[in-house]
A and B are shown apart, each in its own frame.
Chain A
Amino acid sequence: MSAIHVRTTINGDAVEYVCDADETLLDVLRNRLGLTGAKEGCSTGDCGACSVTIDGRLTCSCLVLGAEADGAEIGTIEGMADGEDLHPLQRRFLEHAALQCGICTPGILVAAKALLEHNPKPTETEIRFGLAGNLCRCTGYDKIVRAVMAAADDMRRA
């Protein structure tokens, strides 16, 4: 197995790593870089727990090879809060108790942030469709949707 040298940007920081050709970006983030916010759920692009952005585009990091990230800008949940200041989505998720076990939460936050960047005033239906690629087995989604709507409101006022 030949090792591949990759230069990339993660949450604004220049990062270099060496990975195997068949290693996913998710495995690189978690096992080589210690960025364990992205979770491994299904590994087949169905559950969204591993959601990240690549060059601003929402994607499942389990469906990307680590080698493909060369020259790309990656955004993960670790880059969402500004130091100690939580992102409005994170604050509203806490207030609305929009999580239980928490495994899906990083992916949902990354996906919700991407959604609000494209559509700052989504309807409930648009949020439900926009987050259809993120599965949650605990909450029943209702609190998640309410938290995203509240955060969208905060962000429009800010």
Chain B
Amino acid sequence: MRFERPETIKQAAQMLAGEKGKAFILAGGTDLLVRMRTGFVEPDLIVDIKRIAATRAIETTASGFRIGAAVTGAELGEHAKLKKAWPGVVEAANLIGSKQVQGRCTMTGNLCNASPAADSVPALVAAGAKAVIVGPKGKRTVPVEQVPMAPGRTSLKKGELIESILLPKRPARSGDAYLRFIPRTEMDIAVVGVGVSVTLDAKGVCTDARVSLGAVAPTVLLVPAAAKALIGTKVDKAALDALAAACSAACRPIDDKRGTREFRVKVAGVLARRAAEIARKRAGGK
């Protein structure tokens, strides 16, 4: 196994593209090292992207925020401006693992690990986040929901890697939230996760919404029908009932040791309702 620390994203893409064996990208390593340790993967090449300056910074841009692929959960939690604009996204990222894991784990890693139960991904999808992907053929920007294809599989092609995640600028009276169900209070894998983002007008009527579900299908889902249930309403009881029904209807979950199908379908609706209420309050609605 070889270990490389390129200084530019272009060099990283070239190394990944040129490797004949199995190449893996290392940012936080909280998934990769576990998979190496358990013998699940045997890399021929590891490309550590943390020396690439663009992967390390949270930048405020004219169109929102650019979050480098190697920015850790702890760094997200310490960024007051980002937390104010996108509290749901930051809370979701900060739910991943322990303090020790927070010191290393990244949202981009969470996305590329392509677990249906990834905590930060429903929050990113609800936020309308985009991934900036760099590869041998140049740069492309895609909505984050187009990155995971199936458990453990992404749409990234050979030689491609994510440089950063873009979060849009917040219009006035906007709020987001992420909630998950776990049987413990901390350090567990989501049985169901729900991300909700809303924008209200001056009268408190929802003008824009995005709703996303985790752990209830092979990939994180964007649920347009659930967003539609909120838009044009004051996010009142009737709207929340419709939201919960739309979320439950969108679930295609498995039965496993963490939760049954019936439980996940029901809880998706319950959590969506609660997350929407938090998002509405954060947007200044009553």
Query: Do A and B bind?
Result: yes
Write the residues of chain A forming the contact surface with B, with a CB cutoff of 8 angstroms: 1-2, 4, 20-22, 24, 43-46, 48, 51, 54, 57-60, 62-65, 67-68, 70, 111, 114-115, 129-134
A22 with B34: CB separation less than 8 A: no
A54 with B103: CB separation less than 8 A: yes
- Knowing A4-B3, A44-B38, A130-B99, the reply to whether A24 touches B33 (Cβ < 8 A) is yes
Closest to A43 in B: B37
- Knowing A43-B37, A51-B100, A114-B99, the reply to whether A63 touches B29 (Cβ < 8 A) is yes
> Other than the known A1-B1, A65-B26, A129-B186, what 6 A-B pairs have Cβ atoms closer than 8 Å?
A21-B3, A54-B103, A63-B28, A63-B101, A67-B48, A68-B48
**Does B149 count as interface, using CB distance less than 8 angstroms?**
no
Write the residues of chain B forming the contact surface with A, with a CB cutoff of 8 angstroms: 1-3, 5, 26, 28-30, 33-34, 36-38, 43, 46, 48, 50, 72, 74, 97-101, 103-104, 185-187
For the complex, give the distance between the alpha carbons of A111 and B72 in Å. Answer: 17
For the complex, give the distance between the alpha carbons of A132 and B50 in Å. Answer: 27
Closest to A51 in B: B100
B3 CB contacts on chain A under 8 angstroms = 4, 21, 65, 67
Min CB–CB distance B33 → chain A (angstroms)? 5
For the complex, give the distance between the alpha carbons of A63 and B36 in Å. Answer: 10
A60 with B101: CB separation less than 8 A: yes
Partner of B97, one of A21, A111, A133: A133
B99 CB contacts on chain A under 8 angstroms = 58, 111, 114-115, 130-133
A132 CB contacts on chain B under 8 angstroms = 98-99, 186-187
- Knowing A44-B37, A64-B33, the reply to whether A58 touches B100 (Cβ < 8 A) is yes
Jot down 8 A-B pairs with beta carbons below 8 A, ordered by A: A59-B104, A65-B33, A68-B48, A129-B186, A131-B99, A133-B97, A133-B101, A133-B187
Closest to B50 in A: A68
A130 CB contacts on chain B under 8 angstroms = 99
B26 CB contacts on chain A under 8 angstroms = 65, 68
A54 CB contacts on chain B under 8 angstroms = 103
For the complex, give the distance between the alpha carbons of A22 and B48 in Å. Answer: 12
For the complex, give the distance between the alpha carbons of A70 and B187 in Å. Answer: 30
Question: A-B pairs with CB below 8 Å: how many?
Answer: 87
Q: Which 3 A-B pairs have the closest CB atoms?
A: A133-B98, A21-B3, A57-B103
A70 CB contacts on chain B under 8 angstroms = 5
Min CB–CB distance A91 → chain B (angstroms)? 23
For the complex, give the distance between the alpha carbons of A17 and B36 in Å. Answer: 22
A62 CB contacts on chain B under 8 angstroms = 33, 37
For the complex, give the distance between the alpha carbons of A111 and B101 in Å. Answer: 12
* Most chain B beta-carbon neighbours within 10 Å: one of A22, A45, A68, A70: A45
For the complex, give the distance between the alpha carbons of A111 and B97 in Å. Answer: 14
Partner of B29, one of A57, A65, A131, A133: A65
B34 CB contacts on chain A under 8 angstroms = 44-45, 63
B101 CB contacts on chain A under 8 angstroms = 45, 60, 63, 133
A2 with B50: CB separation less than 8 A: no
A65 CB contacts on chain B under 8 angstroms = 3, 26, 29, 33, 46, 48
For the complex, give the distance between the alpha carbons of A62 and B72 in Å. Answer: 17
A64 with B29: CB separation less than 8 A: yes
B186 CB contacts on chain A under 8 angstroms = 129, 132
B29 CB contacts on chain A under 8 angstroms = 63-65, 68
A22 with B100: CB separation less than 8 A: no
B98 with A22: CB separation less than 8 A: no
A129 CB contacts on chain B under 8 angstroms = 185-186
For the complex, give the distance between the alpha carbons of A60 and B101 in Å. Answer: 7
A58 CB contacts on chain B under 8 angstroms = 99-100, 103
Closest to B36 in A: A22
B43 CB contacts on chain A under 8 angstroms = 22
* Most chain A beta-carbon neighbours within 10 Å: one of B3, B74, B99: B99
B38 with A59: CB separation less than 8 A: no
B103 with A59: CB separation less than 8 A: yes
